[in-house]
Amino acid sequence: MSETTPGAAAPSSNFIRQIIEEDVRTGKWRGRIATRFPPEPNGYLHLGHAKSICLNFGLARDYGGECHLRFDDTNPVKEEQEYVDSIIDAVRWLGFDWGDHLHFASDYFERFYGFAEHLIRRGKAYVDSLGAEEIRAYRGTLTEVGRDSPYRARGADESLDLFRRMRAGEFPDGAHVLRARIDMASPNLNLRDPVLYRIRRATHHRTGDAWCIYPMYDYAHCVSDAIERITHSICTLEFEDHRPLYDWVLDELADVLPWHSRQVEFARLNLTYTVLSKRKLIELVGSGAVEGWDDPRLPTLAGVRRRGFTPEAIRMFAERIGVAKADSWIEMGVLEDCLREDLNERAPRRIAVLDPLRLTIDNYPEGAVESCEAPNHPQHPERGTRPLPFSRELWIEREDFAETPPRGFFRLAPDAEVRLRYAYVVRCTGVEKDAAGRITTVHCRYDPDTRSGTPGAASRKVKGNIHWLSTAHAQSSELRLYDRLFRVPEAGAADSREALNPDSKRILTAFTEPALSQALPEERFQFERHGYFIADRSDGAPGRPVFNRAVSLRDSWSGRRG
RNA sequence: UGGGGAGUCGCCAAGCUGGUCCAAGGCACCGGAUUUUGAUUCCGGCAUUCGUAGGUUCGAAUCCUACCUCCCCAGCCA
């Protein structure tokens, strides 16, 4: 069905699993378990959808059922094939497989229509000729009951005739609608004779101009579920008070469509420092606040993929946050931590110097170069090493040197000792500054007996351990450092360009070790002491990759300082 | 103010057919050990309390009552 998620805890109990387990126990569906992920192809998928995808496909996987990918394409004016393609791509990327269950609500249009005639014949639906404004006025309010439309008494024959002519294209958009005949006085607004069909002369991305009437969600969704014999139709909380309508439709159609899926609602995902609504995402992209739907700062699946997230990390995340009915906000740290956990294990280590400072080893022979062996993974020696050229002139990280070290600093400082990772222990002997007083070069002397991998190295313990790159061998690469999109945790509550984090993207030119020039698009690495980076799949060229920082490493030092 | 939902540690979330809960687990946080990433790993700590107030009971987060707070619903969107 789909891949399991390594590193993820066994799925914890939740109310939906309980429902399913109870159903399995009582044989309610005669052993069948079928769920579905039903996106409307009118936008890009984001992490909120990922929660739903993992839930639906995960349930099918765990209970030996099937999960359908079904496009809810009932509104041609908003939907496009481009979105269908991107959604299919995203669900696949996440690691799920729907087998031969790729469906489209539009494939059921003819059956939807037939069932609608059935409702009309049985007096359960009628053609209303009120305008949109009037229908709203007649609907009443939250506290006042609605009034019957003057057309509500229309007979089955007349409605049937009108409905057929609606289909035939005899009327302009908006002239008539098909409505369910339920109860205009219901305290649940969804039951006040909801619209089932509207006239919409628009070209549908799949059915073209075959239809000029299109079904509404409340009618199409439950019928699609029944057609596909879905057992558990899982959706978000805002559909909770649509459930009586969902059940009404299937009850009224029972003799011609004898299947009644159970709708179950769960709380949608909220993530701090970002926004998970199609509308807000469109705003961000449209206003140019970000650089497109796959901008690495966006919570779209295309965005997090480009950012460097793995499908495994996202599945782990979905598992960790659980499923319940309480509105909640998940801290961005939970997502980030899932990525760290996944990549810590898998990503090969590499060296990059982001903010270079020259280090000269005065007692190292000029022109000499030796090769140091750097392990690809500290916990997995079997993954081998790669050579790192060492010489007299090196780049180190500017923040790894302090002229007046703060308390607890154990990197390089005047007269202090530090290990150059995978190479030698050096002692700082002085600095050079420019006219402005900025340090331009740090001088030091190395101890030839402390080379990594030799007996001398083991006998010499130094607390500090910094990374470096030989100036003659380092390449320069473009790095993008991404940070949270908003500076406030519950962004989107207030809508706000000003809540945007101005430093959500920083581009810099860094020095990277030689091996990195071979990085393939989407290859991920840990840049030691910095974080996890991915070679961008769109930008960069062969031999000159561009790297995106997916997430930094945990850093208990910078936190302590400030 | 009508209807539908939800309230358990900073953030999630088990538990909710009452006792084995003086409440799992994860993230965060705080120690401490190991460490050639101040990373990882490891070990320890972290709710006498379950929105509030009453009640039932030998016994309640779990049952009852009232109240409080928050979310959703008046598209010919999904």
Q: Which nucleotide is nearest to A73 (CA to C1')?
A: B78
CATH T-level assignment (fold) for domain A278-308+321-334+477-551? Ribosomal Protein L25; Chain P (2.40.240)
Instruction: For residues A205 and A194, give the distance between their C-alpha atoms in angstroms, rounded to a whole number.
Output: 26
Query: Which residues are A162's β-sheet partners?
Result: none
Mean pLDDT of A372-386: 96
Q: Confidence band (pLDDT; 50, 70, 90) for A495?
A: low
Q: Confidence band (pLDDT; 50, 70, 90) for A458?
A: confident
**Which one-letter amino acid corresponds to residue A306?**
R
**Per the residue annotation, which of A17, A147, A200, A268 is the catalytic one?**
A268
Within 10 angstroms of residue A370's Cβ, the number of other Cβ atoms is 15
Show the CA angle centred on residue A360, arms to residues A358 and A365, nearest 5°: 145
- The answer to whether the beta carbons of residues A522 and A346 sit under 8 Å apart is no
A204 DSSP assignment: B
Using the structure, give the distance in angstroms from the CA atom of A327 to the C1' atom of B53, rounded to a whole number.
Answer: 25
The superfamily in CATH containing domain A352-467 is Ribosomal Protein L25; Chain P (2.40.240.10)
Using the structure, give the distance in angstroms from the CA atom of A405 to the C1' atom of B62, rounded to a whole number.
Answer: 57
Mean pLDDT of A71-90: 98
User: What predicted TM-score, i.e. pTM, was given to this entire model?
Assistant: 0.96
What confidence tens digit (pLDDT) does each residue in A522-560 have? Answer: 999 999 999 999 999 999 999 999 999 999 999 998 866
**A7, pLDDT greater than 70:** no
Instruction: For residues A411 and A559, give the distance between their C-alpha atoms in angstroms, rounded to a whole number.
Output: 16
Q: Which nucleotide is nearest to A379 (CA to C1')?
A: B40
What confidence tens digit (pLDDT) does each residue in A151-198 have? Answer: 999 999 999 999 999 999 999 999 999 999 999 999 999 999 999 999
Using the structure, give the distance in angstroms from the CA atom of A21 to the C1' atom of B17, rounded to a whole number.
Answer: 15
**A123, pLDDT greater than 70:** yes
What confidence tens digit (pLDDT) does each residue in A216-275 have? Answer: 999 999 999 999 999 999 999 999 999 999 999 999 999 999 999 999 999 999 999 999
**A86, pLDDT greater than 60:** yes
The residue ranking higher by pLDDT, A510 or A491, is A510
- The answer to whether the beta carbons of residues A119 and A74 sit under 8 Å apart is no
Q: Which residue is nearest to nucleotide B28 (CA to C1')?
A: A333
Q: Which nucleotide is nearest to A218 (CA to C1')?
A: B78
Instruction: For residues A399 and A355, give the distance between their C-alpha atoms in angstroms, rounded to a whole number.
Output: 8
Q: Which nucleotide is nearest to A423 (CA to C1')?
A: B36
**Per the residue annotation, which of A3, A28, A40, A421 is the catalytic one?**
A40
Query: Which residues are A425's β-sheet partners?
Result: A419, A447
Using the structure, give the distance in angstroms from the CA atom of A256 to the C1' atom of B56, rounded to a whole number.
Answer: 50
So what's the ipTM on this one?
A: 0.96
Using the structure, give the distance in angstroms from the CA atom of A345 to the C1' atom of B43, rounded to a whole number.
Answer: 21
pLDDT of the residue at A6? 42
Q: Which nucleotide is nearest to A75 (CA to C1')?
A: B77
Instruction: For residues A5 and A217, give the distance between their C-alpha atoms in angstroms, rounded to a whole number.
Output: 33
What confidence tens digit (pLDDT) does each residue in A284-319 have? Answer: 999 999 999 999 999 999 999 999 999 999 999 999
Tell me the percentage of chain A whose pLDDT exceeds 70.
97
Q: How is A298-317 classified by DSSP, letter by letter?
A: S-BHHHHHHHT--HHHHHHH
Instruction: For residues A321 and A58, give the distance between their C-alpha atoms in angstroms, rounded to a whole number.
Output: 14
Show the CA angle centred on residue A411, arms to residues A406 and A416, nearest 5°: 90
CA-based nearest residue to A108, from A3, A228, A202: A228
A25 is catalytic: no
Instruction: For residues A490 and A319, give the distance between their C-alpha atoms in angstroms, rounded to a whole number.
Output: 22
Using the structure, give the distance in angstroms from the CA atom of A154 to the C1' atom of B75, rounded to a whole number.
Answer: 24
Using the structure, give the distance in angstroms from the CA atom of A222 to the C1' atom of B49, rounded to a whole number.
Answer: 43
Mean model confidence pLDDT for chain A? 95
Q: Where are chain A's structural domains?
A: 15-266, 278-308+321-334+477-551, 352-467
Mean pLDDT of A370-391: 97
**Per the residue annotation, which of A167, A200, A278, A445 is the catalytic one?**
A278
Q: Confidence band (pLDDT; 50, 70, 90) for A561?
A: low
Using the structure, give the distance in angstroms from the CA atom of A326 to the C1' atom of B20, rounded to a whole number.
Answer: 29
pLDDT of the residue at A455? 87
pLDDT of the residue at A11? 72
- The answer to whether the beta carbons of residues A60 and A68 sit under 8 Å apart is no
Q: Chain B positions under 7 Å from a protein CB?
A: 1-8, 10-16, 24-30, 35-41, 70-78
Instruction: For residues A289 and A490, give the distance between their C-alpha atoms in angstroms, rounded to a whole number.
Output: 18
Using the structure, give the distance in angstroms from the CA atom of A329 to the C1' atom of B72, rounded to a whole number.
Answer: 16
CATH of A15-266, picked from 3.40.50.620, 3.30.365.10, 3.50.50.60, 3.90.105.10, is: 3.40.50.620
A200 is catalytic: no
Handedness of CA A545, A392, A416, A465 (dihedral sign): positive
Q: Confidence band (pLDDT; 50, 70, 90) for A1?
A: very low
Topology alike, domains A278-308+321-334+477-551 and A352-467: yes
**A150, pLDDT greater than 50:** yes
Mean pLDDT of A4-8: 43
Question: 3-class SS at A86?
Answer: helix
Question: 3-class SS at A335?
Answer: helix
A278 is catalytic: yes
Q: Which residue is nearest to nucleotide B41 (CA to C1')?
A: A379
Using the structure, give the distance in angstroms from the CA atom of A381 to the C1' atom of B43, rounded to a whole number.
Answer: 25
- The answer to whether the beta carbons of residues A429 and A384 sit under 8 Å apart is no
Q: Which nucleotide is nearest to A453 (CA to C1')?
A: B36
Instruction: For residues A35 and A230, give the distance between their C-alpha atoms in angstroms, rounded to a whole number.
Output: 6
Q: Confidence band (pLDDT; 50, 70, 90) for A496?
A: low
Q: Which nucleotide is nearest to A146 (CA to C1')?
A: B74
Q: Which residue is nearest to nucleotide B24 (CA to C1')?
A: A12
- The answer to whether the beta carbons of residues A55 and A90 sit under 8 Å apart is no
Q: Does an H or E element contain A508, and which?
A: strand A505-512
- The answer to whether the beta carbons of residues A255 and A20 sit under 8 Å apart is no
Instruction: For residues A531 and A533, give the distance between their C-alpha atoms in angstroms, rounded to a whole number.
Output: 7
Spell out the residues 6+ positions from residue A184 whose beta carbon is closer than 8 angstroms to its own: A138, A139, A140, A145, A146, A147, A148, A152, A192, A193
Q: Which nucleotide is nearest to A465 (CA to C1')?
A: B36
Q: Which residue is nearest to nucleotide B37 (CA to C1')?
A: A529
A383 DSSP assignment: G
**A3, pLDDT greater than 80:** no
